[in-house]
Amino acid sequence: MSTPQLVVHHDKELMAQAAAARLITKIVDAQASRGSASVVLTGGRNGNGLLAALAAAPARDAVDWGRLELWWGDERYLPEGDPERNDTQAREALLDAVPLDPKRVHTMPASDGPHGDDVEAAAAAYAEELARAAGPENHGAVPTFDVLMLGVGPDTHVASLFPELPAVRETERTVVGVHGAPKPPPTRVSLTLPAIRSAREVWLLAAGEDKAQAAAIALSGAGEIQAPAAGARGRARTLWLLDSAAASQLPRSLYPPASS
């Protein structure tokens, strides 16, 4: 796995704008070299802030939106269209404003879908969808995502992998149902660390003083069971995108800028 690199921006608005510009470049490069691009979206204020900044970016038209595969790192197991679902928020922030191919938008199952209350069946169905998209060139049962984005919670959780809970300990499955999450709603669907690590690049987004301690813990050598963000690494690159408040507890030795 790659060694984490840091980019620190003055505030969350600049972080979102810079991350959006960086993502546009990655998508365009992947489409130029392989014909399509694959991105895993994250929810939360930083993930949605990035999508809103992308929607407002003039360069968004450089992306061939019809050749973009979109996946999700986790989802709140709620009815389709619920305002708390990550995919609902993503559509409001960006997706409804760009010409995506609906067949390439891979939302996680909803609680009013065919699996009903069975979140484990919903997780297995998403794992099967990932496996169908994985080609012989991929390493395992998920496609090789170009960029997988994750928000970092104040408790160091990423996706819906919370410290010490069973989901963060999973080593075989690519998608799991999450029960008893300490952050509501308690029932969720999440990629696992093995699935996250299949990505070429993993970007971790953190802005605000409430994320400072989490960033410091995850980047200080903590174990992934106690600090799931520490285990989120990309195969080619792991990039922490922070604002100055979230980086305020990091030693200056961790500050060298990441190469572009």
pLDDT of residue 251: 80
Distances (CA, A) of 94 to 7, 50, 53, 201, 217: 24, 9, 9, 21, 32
Count CB neighbours of 215 within 10 A: 25
Here the tokens at position 111 are: 């609680």
State the average pLDDT for the chain: 95
pLDDT of residue 259: 43
Angle between helix 12-34 and 44-56 (nearest 10): 70
Least confident among 86-100, 198-212, 221-235, 241-255: 241-255
Cα three-residue angle 132-137-142, rounded to 5 degrees: 40
Whether the CB-CB separation of 256 and 34 falls below 8 Å is answered with no
Please state the rounded mean pLDDT for residues 234-251. Answer: 95
Q: Using one digit for the tens of pLDDT, what is the confidence trace for 174-232?
A: 999 999 999 999 999 999 999 999 999 999 999 999 999 999 999 998 999 999 999 99
Alpha-carbon torsion 191, 86, 52, 218, what sign?
negative
**Which residues make Cβ contacts (< 8 Å) with residue 125, sequence separation at least 6?**
109, 115
Cis amide prior to 185 (ω within 30 degrees): yes
Residue in the block written with tokens 């299949």: 198
Here the tokens at position 122 are: 């919903």
Q: Using one digit for the tens of pLDDT, what is the confidence trace for 136-181?
A: 776 679 999 999 999 999 999 999 999 999 999 999 999 999 999 9
pLDDT at 135 over 50: yes
> pTM higher than 0.85 for the full model?
yes
